């Protein structure tokens, strides 16, 4: 395989998708961090169902596995880097909506990975709630990762339904 085959139109489209998601995530995080500083650490926005307030997440998705131990944080960071590499291989080996799902997961994963490396924590700021029930804090990268995973699950369900319908015939 030569470079011309690798760097074709699809490569640039795929790369642009990841880059757009990465930059959307970066821009929103920079804005929220700046607003947080301007508000002297107070909540940025409050409403009946949504608060925007900055927290620094040292764990993984939705603040799970947050530890003060630096070595545990580093182990998770290495594991996340490995998962990103595996997703990259999966992107290369898939097409269509499955590839798109993996691309949006990759864009979000790279956004959060960037923060883990440069800030040793991920800024989360969306806080959806109903009354006193609050969902986990999350950010734009988490939204793309979640939608990508949902798409992958739906694709697998659809593929399994197709296989099962073929088995019946």
Which of 25, 115, 124, 127 is catalytic? The answer is 124
- Phi, psi angle pair for 132, to nearest 5°: -90, 0
Distance CA 143, CA 110 (A): 13
Distance CA 27, CA 74 (A): 25
Which of 25, 115, 127, 142 is catalytic? The answer is 142
Active-site annotation holds for 25: no
Q: How many CA atoms lie within 13 A of 167 on its CB side?
A: 6
Distance CA 38, CA 110 (A): 27
CB 96, CB 10: distance < 8 Å: no
Strand partners, 83: none
By annotation, the residues acting in catalysis are 124, 142
């Amino acid at each position: 395989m030569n470079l011309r085959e690798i760097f074709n139109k699809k490569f640039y489209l795929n790369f642009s998708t990841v880059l757009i998601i990465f930059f959307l995530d970066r821009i929103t995080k920079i804005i929220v961090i700046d607003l947080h500083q301007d508000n002297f650490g107070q909540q940025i926005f409050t409403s009946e169902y949504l608060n925007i307030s900055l927290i620094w997440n040292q764990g993984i998705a939705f603040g799970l596995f947050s530890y003060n131990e630096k070595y545990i944080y580093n182990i998770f960071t290495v594991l996340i880097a490995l998962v990103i590499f595996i997703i990259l291989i999966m992107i290369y080996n898939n097409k269509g909506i499955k590839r798109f799902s993996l691309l949006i997961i990759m864009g979000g994963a790279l956004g959060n990975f960037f923060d883990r490396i440069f800030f040793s924590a991920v800024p989360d700021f969306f806080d959806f709630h109903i009354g006193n029930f609050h969902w986990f804090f999350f950010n734009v990268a988490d939204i793309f990762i979640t939608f990508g995973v949902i798409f992958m699950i739906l694709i697998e369900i659809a593929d399994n339904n197709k296989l099962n319908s073929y088995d019946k015939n």
